[in-house]
Structure 1
Amino acid sequence: MNDRKIIALPDNLKTQLGVTSGSKIEVLTGHGEAQIKVAKEVQSTGWRWLSPILTFLTTVGFVAYFLVRNSYQIPLSGSESLTTLILTLTTLACYISFGANLIHLKRKKVATIEAFTWRSFPTLTIAAALIYFMVMSGLFWIGGTLFKGATFDLLTSTILFAVITQLSVQVAGSVASMLSPRLLTNTFIVVIAGGVILAMLSNQNLYWWKRSLSFLGTTHATDSWEFNAALIFAGLILVALIDYLFVSLKRVFPGDKRLLIMRILLTLLAINLAAVGLFPNDDALHLIHVRVAGNLVYIIIALIVGVKWLLPNITKEFRQISWLMAGGLVATEILFEIVGYLSLTAFEILAFLLAFSWTIMLFERLNDYLEPSQMDIYEVK
Structure 2
Amino acid sequence: MNEKHVLKLPQDLKEQLGVEPGTQVKVHIGADEIKITTQKPVEIRKRRWGVIILTAIMTAIFLGYFLTRKIYQISLVGSESVATMVLVLTTISGFLSFAAAFIQLKHQSGSAVEAVSWRNFPTVALSCTLISFMLMAGLFWIAGNLFKGATFDLFTSTALFALITSVEVQAVNSIVPQLSSRLLTNIFIAVIVSGVILAMISNQNLYWWKHNLSFLGTNQAVASWEFNLALIFAGLILLALVDYLFASLKRVFPKSRQLLVLRILLTLLAIDLALVGVFPNNTQMHTLHTRVAGYLIFLVLALIFGIKWLLPDISKDFLHTSWMIAAALLAGEILFQVVGYLSLTAFEIMAFLLAFSWLVMLFERLNDYLEPIQNRQYIIK
- Does the alignment reach a TM-score above 0.5? yes
Q: Which residue of the partner structure matches residue 299 of structure 1?
A: 299
Q: Deviations over 1:298-343 (max 9, x none)?
A: 2111111211111111112211211221111111111111111111
8 Å contact kept, 1:47–1:104: no
Q: Percent identity?
A: 57
Q: What's the TM-score once normalised by structure 1's chain length?
A: 0.89
Report deviation, 1:28: 5.7
Q: Which amino acid aligns with 1:75?
A: S
Would the alpha carbon gap of residues 39 and 84 (structure 1) be closer, same or farther in structure 2, given more than 3 Å must change?
Answer: closer
Q: Do the aligned partners of residues 301 and 93 (structure 1) sit closer, same or farther apart at CA in structure 2, a change above 3 Å counting?
A: same
1:60 aligns with 2:66: no
In 2, Cα distance between equivalents of 1:80 and 1:249: 49
Post-superposition CA distance 1:206-265 (Å, at most 9, x none): 211111111111121222233223222322322232222222212211222322221222
CA displacement 1:76-102 (0-9 Å, x = unmatched): 222222211111111111101111112
Q: Which residue pairs with 1:341 in the alignment?
A: 341
The CA deviation at 1:61 is 1.0
Secondary structure at the aligned position of 2:340 is classed as: coil
- Which runs of structure 2 are paired with 1:49-198 in the superposition (5 Å)? 49-198=49-198
Once residues 212 and 66 of structure 1 are traced to their aligned partners in structure 2, the CA distance between those partners, rounded to angstroms, is 43
**TM-fit CA distance, 1:2:** 8.0
Which range moves more in the overlay, 258-267 or 299-308? 258-267
> What letter corresponds to residue 182 of structure 2 in structure 1?
R
Contact 1:235 1:270 survives alignment (8 Å)? yes
C-alpha deviation, 1:371, in angstroms: 2.3
Which of 224-233 and 280-289 deviates more? 224-233
Q: Could you tell me how far apart the structure 1 residues matched to 2:55 and 2:20 are?
A: 43
Q: Which amino acid counterpart does residue 213 of structure 2 have in structure 1?
A: L
What is the CA distance between 1:354 and its match in structure 2? 0.9
Seen in structure 2, the aligned counterparts of structure 1 residues 327 and 170 have a Cα distance that, compared at 3 Å, is same
Aligned to 2:209: 209
> Which whole-Å CA distance do the structure 2 matches of 1:88 and 1:16 have between them?
46
The one-letter code of the counterpart of 2:240 is A
> Contact between 1:46 and 1:104, CA under 8 Å: does it hold in 2?
no
Q: How far 1:111 moved relative to its partner?
A: 4.0
Aligned length: 376
Residues 2, 215 of structure 1: CA spacing in aligned structure 2 closer, same or farther, 3 A cutoff? closer
Provide the C-alpha distance between the structure 1 equivalents of 2:241 and 2:262, rounded to a whole number of angstroms: 13
Kept in 1, the 8 Å contact 2:111–2:177? The answer is no
Measured in 2, the distance between the counterparts of 1:125 and 1:36 equals 27
Counterparts in 2 of 1:346 and 1:327: CA distance versus 1, 3 Å = same
* Letter of the 2:107 counterpart: R
1:51 to partner: Cα distance: 0.9
Aligned to 2:259: 259
The residue aligned with 2:273 is 273
Letter in 1 for 2:118: W
Task: After TM superposition, give the deviation of residue 181 of structure 1 in Å.
Answer: 2.2
Give the residue type in structure 1 aligned to 2:201: L
Question: Are the counterparts in 2 of residues 192 and 234 from structure 1 also a CA contact under 8 Å?
Answer: yes
Unaligned runs of 5+ in 1: none
Instruction: Tell me, yes or no, if structure 1 residue 47 matches structure 2 residue 47.
Output: yes
* C-alpha RMSD of matched pairs (Å): 2.6
361-370 or 258-267, larger mean C-alpha shift: 258-267
Alpha-carbon distance between aligned partners in 2 of 1:320 and 1:213, rounded to the nearest angstrom: 29
Q: Amino acid of the residue matched to residue 140 of structure 2?
A: F
Aligned mates of 1:74, 1:58 — CA distance in 2: 17
| Counterpart-to-counterpart distance in 1, 2:343 and 2:107 | 53
Change in CA separation of 1:156 and 1:198 when aligned onto 2, cut-off 3 Å:
same
Q: Secondary structure at the match of 2:152?
A: strand
Aligned-pair distance for 1:133? 1.0
State the match for 1:6 in structure 2. Answer: 6
Structure 1 position 15, deviation (Å): 6.2
- After superposition, where does 1:302-381 map in structure 2 within 5 Å? 302-374=302-374
AA aligned to 2:320 is: Q
CA distance in 2, matches of 1:372, 1:8: 23
Displacement of 1:289: 1.5
- For 1:343, the aligned partner's letter is S
**Is this contact kept in 1: 2:128–2:187, CA < 8 A?**
no
Q: d(CA) in 2 for partners of 1:282 and 1:155?
A: 46
Distance 2:140 2:29 in 1: 45
Change (3 A) 1:146 1:380: closer
Q: Using the TM superposition, name which of 331-340 and 179-188 deviates more.
A: 179-188
Q: 2-side partners of 1:200 and 1:55: how far apart?
A: 33
Q: Distance in 1 between matches of 2:331 and 2:2?
A: 58
Secondary structure of residue in 1 paired with 2:283: coil
Cα 1:125–1:15 shift into 2, 3 Å: closer
Deviation for aligned residue 1:159: 1.3
Q: Contact 2:336–2:343 at 8 Å: present in 1 too?
A: yes
Partners of 2:285 and 2:99 lie apart in 1 by 34
Q: Which runs of 5+ in 2 are unaligned?
A: none
The verdict on how the C-alpha distance between 1:21 and 1:228 changes in structure 2, with shifts beyond 3 A counting, is closer
Instruction: Measure how far apart 1:3 and its partner are.
Output: 4.3
User: Retained in 1: the 8 A contact 2:106–2:113?
Assistant: yes
- Quote the offset at 1:108 in angstroms: 1.3
- C-alpha change, 1:36 and 1:244, in structure 2 (3 Å) is closer
